[in-house]
Chain A
Amino acid sequence: MISMTVQKILNGDRRTAARLIRDIDDGIPGTREILKAIHRHTGKAYVIGITGSPGVGKSTLVDQMIHGLRRSGKTVGVLAIDPTSPFSGGAILGDRIRMQRHSLDDGVFIRSLATRGQFGGLTQSTRSAIDVLDAMGKDYIIVETVGVGQDEVDIARSADTTVIVVVPGMGDHIQAIKAGIFEVGDIFVINKSDRPDAEKTLHDLRALFDIARKKLTGEGWEPPILMAEAASNRGIAELLDEIEKHRKSRKTLSHETVIHRKQAVARDELIDMIKCRLFQEALDHITSSPEFKIYLDCVTEGTKDPYSACDELLSAKLCFIGDEVNRKPDLQEYLVAQK
């Protein structure tokens, strides 16, 4: 069963791949075994991360990039990530709209993903989805994310080249320093550069670079700043050229640097994976226990403060947490007596 699924994915079967990505996203048990089996077939695709604030034109830029890559005969996988509503858990995934002209191209696979969970969820299933597209044999994988927060930095770590998109007059460069995204950009694109203030944005970015460059690790790559108008396909060829240059520059890195980087990436990936499972399983373990219900009632009624409830629950349910808290030998008995 697993080997059949794996074989279909290696053959590029889009239906099987699509279903697997769905199962990964929904956390269906069994997907892990398939991911384990396909992992050794990954590592061939070149992963490009595209990030930037909502409305800067990321999807339109990706659409033009697909067009350019297809013209040079490359196959492309796209993961377009939109935010999950924190209120309902639902999402509207609308990135495909901008990429419609590729919707019938067999060499293109576009998949929308919602950010879903808070804790490593995005990173985890996105990484797995990258693996699936990679195993399908796509030459390039473009990951488009909404540019806010830690998740983008994580995506940037798993991308070979990270492109940061800004637009004139939105103060994006300031946002970039705030969020710490600035440091992870390999290429910067000022999109909608026909707008007034494009030059000013360029100058501002350059000035920021002069400050930030001291922090960059001196790997011989100076992030270029490009002007583009994605809607009219201007600046896209230049962007693809720079991506290619960046790709080549990575090949000239010293052996130590390569090893060092590989290790950093592997470490991030492993820690994320542990974090994700640990969190999920520990939380399930605690919230499904009868003690949780009792503590919840106590906190609701005001007979116990949430700080103590948290400490006591953790020390009781997870043996390695909260050594400093007095352990209750039989928690349930103790709680019932207290009540």
Chain B
Amino acid sequence: MNNGRKIKVLVSVIGLDGHFTGAQIVSRFLMDAGMEVVYLGIYQTPEMIVRAAIDESVDVIGISSHASNYGQIGLLIDLMKKNDLVDVPLICGGTIPKGEAEALIKRGVSKIFPPQSTSESIIEYIVSCARG
């Protein structure tokens, strides 16, 4: 943990995706790892996520995606850049095909965790990249 700060993560599902189980499981194990998780739930627009990230002053944004809504994730990255959230890494997880994943990384997503990723690997990554 960096200089006594607690890591604060925003976890959300984006667009018309209603699959919340993954997001809730991730929220739970991040809490168990000692982090504070702002859980936004489903049906969030990029605008709502960016606003919440600013108001809550989070270190990392995590998006759980299971409904082929990669376009929305792309819009979220653009909006984050526009709102000067460049120091907040965007992490995605869920059923994102390899090709789409590569395109999203190119567009600015920091890391994508495919199915079968361990909770340890996700926690470790967040700890390593959370801003101070």
* Chain A contact residues, CB within 8 Å of chain B: 14-15, 18-19, 21-22, 25-28, 84-85, 87-94, 96-97, 100, 103-104, 109-112, 114, 116
Contacts and interface: CB of A to CB of B under 8 A. Distances in A.
Point out which of B6, B8, B27, B32 has the most chain A C-beta atoms below 10 A from its C-beta.
B6
A88 B55 contact: no
A244 to B, nearest CB: 27
Contacts of A19: 57
Contacts of B52: 96, 103
Interface in B15-35: 27-28, 30-35
A153 B32 CA distance: 29
A21 B4 contact: no
A88 B39 contact: no
Contacts of A114: 36
A26 B36 CA distance: 12
Contacts of A97: 39-41
A302 to B, nearest CB: 31
B38 A96 contact: yes
A91 B31 contact: yes
Given A26-B5, A26-B6, A27-B4, A90 B32 contact: yes
Contact of A91 (B3, B36, B41, B56): B36
Contacts of A94: 39, 41
Point out which of B8, B34, B47, B57 has the most chain A C-beta atoms below 10 A from its C-beta.
B57
A15 B54 CA distance: 6
Interface of B: 3-6, 8, 27-28, 30-41, 44, 47-48, 51-52, 54-57
B48 A103 contact: yes
Nearest to B37: A92
Contacts of A26: 4-6
27 contacts: A14-B54, A18-B54, A18-B56, A21-B57, A26-B4, A26-B5, A26-B6, A84-B36, A89-B6, A90-B30, A90-B34, A90-B37, A91-B31, A92-B27, A92-B37, A93-B37, A94-B41, A96-B56, A100-B40, A100-B48, A103-B48, A103-B51, A103-B52, A104-B48, A104-B51, A109-B55, A110-B55
B33 A90 contact: yes
Contacts, number: 77
B94 to A, nearest CB: 19
The secondary-structure label for the interface of chain A is: mixed
Contact of B31 (A22, A88, A104): A88
B54 A93 contact: no
Contacts of A116: 6
Given A85-B32, A92-B28, 18 more contacts: A14-B54, A18-B57, A21-B57, A88-B32, A88-B34, A90-B31, A90-B33, A90-B34, A90-B36, A92-B27, A92-B39, A100-B40, A100-B48, A103-B52, A104-B51, A112-B38, A114-B36, A116-B6
Contacts of A14: 54-55
Nearest to B6: A26
A205 B23 CA distance: 40
B61 to A, nearest CB: 14
Contacts of B35: 90
Nearest to A100: B48
Contacts of A91: 31, 36-37
A84 B40 CA distance: 18
Across the A-B interface, give the 5 residue pairs with the lowest CB-CB distance, nearest first.
A90-B31, A22-B57, A18-B57, A26-B5, A89-B34
A85 B30 CA distance: 12
A93 B52 CA distance: 12
